[in-house]
Amino acid sequence: MADILTSVTSPKPKWIIGVVSLSIIVTLGYILFTRPSPAVRLQASTYQVTENKSRFYKAWSASPTTMLLPPTTSRVMKVYSAGSLKQNKMRSKIQPITVVTAYWNIGLVSNGNPNQSKDPERYIRYMDSFAYIENPVVAYFDDPVMQEKFQTIRDQSGFPTKTIVFDNRTELWGFSLEPSMKELYAQPDYPKSIPNFHSTYNCAMHAKYDAMPHAVMNNYFNTDYFAWCDLGYFRDMPKGLGSHYNFQMTLPPEFDTKKVAFTQVASRDDKLSLKEIFFQSRFWVAGGFFIGTADPLLKLAEDYRYSTEKFLRMNLSETDQQILYGMYSRFNQDIPRVEIQSYTSDGTTTDSWMFLGELLRGIWWNNHPIPNDCYNCNRSELIGFFS
């Protein structure tokens, strides 16, 4: 009996090794196939740009929603000028477009020129222009007084409007960056410029990429297209051409729904380093007006927020226009997922910075006769350009 028990309770060495090996294989397989995806982590890259000498950071993640992905098409941007658009102006389809805007009360910001100062009284005059925009509008505020004035203007016009007030704007991503920006701007060797050096002003520019995705995701008016429009974009309207003639935002000619359209104000110089773009306040596209569909706009906003924080870690911070320039610079390792479709004036418009919005307003006017009872609707200067 003792011999039998010994033979049962003493397995052979080969059998033990096989069981252990199989257990190890099963355990490793379980770990590999069931572990969660790694979180985003920032890792310093070994890539250095001689002209910049700033540290670059690259994000690694298994999640496509949190990592900048290479675009599926070339980064070559097709530029549309006023001259090339004349023959195509009638092809632009009228589509329901939600216009998104915001006003953040940051007090007085001035560069010494009283005609270019930014203050609440000036923006109260600017918002009168929204009385003539027939599109549905979503507007964001941190000042209940300004929100009430804007709502009254829109209510008197009878056009659909949604206003939203943030009691504490520091909860917004754009304004949450201000402490880090102030610390950076306090460095003695950082360039001082106004308003770009004004941290609260820059935060207000970044907050566009809080407001726009919020409006897109909620889609209060169930539209396929969304246009960001600075509150003072059509500041000429109270005294300018067509000041009492309503209009609707339409789509730009040859608009690509996979891209986001901006006004181009200068050629993109691929020789500029990121440091030069920020320290010299260089411009490529204007940030006051852009238009697109939901998916590209949401991706652009996500990439913008990622890039803004990345540049800030590199001790680079400016307005939204420098962020956009830096995002599409060849020295930026993280290629944005959405291409920009740029439209540029050929000099026949009065303000090249406002070209895209003025183009869309002009398309509407060109396709809709002036009412007989329209006051101050002399558009002779525009008719020559758009006809």
Q: Comparing C-alpha atoms, which of 366, 320, 335 is closest to residue 211?
A: 320
- Position 113 scores a pLDDT of 46
pTM: predicted TM-score of the whole model, two decimal places: 0.72
- pLDDT tens digits in sequence order for the chain, 387 residues long: 444 444 444 445 555 555 556 555 545 454 433 333 222 222 222 222 222 222 222 222 222 222 233 333 223 333 433 333 333 333 334 568 999 999 998 876 655 444 555 666 777 888 888 988 999 999 999 999 999 999 999 998 899 999 999 988 989 999 999 999 999 988 888 887 644 457 888 999 999 999 999 999 999 999 999 999 999 898 765 444 444 578 899 899 999 999 999 999 999 999 999 999 999 999 999 999 999 999 999 999 999 999 999 999 999 999 999 999 999 999 999 999 999 999 988 766 557 888 999 889 888 877 876 666 555 454 433 333 333
Helix, strand, coil shares of the chain, percent, nearest 5, are 40, 15, 45
The values of phi and psi at residue 357, to 5°, are -65, -40
- Position 368 scores a pLDDT of 75
Residue 188 contacts by C-beta under 8 Å, 6 or more apart in sequence?
Answer: none
- Position 51 scores a pLDDT of 29
- CB 181, CB 199: distance < 8 Å: yes
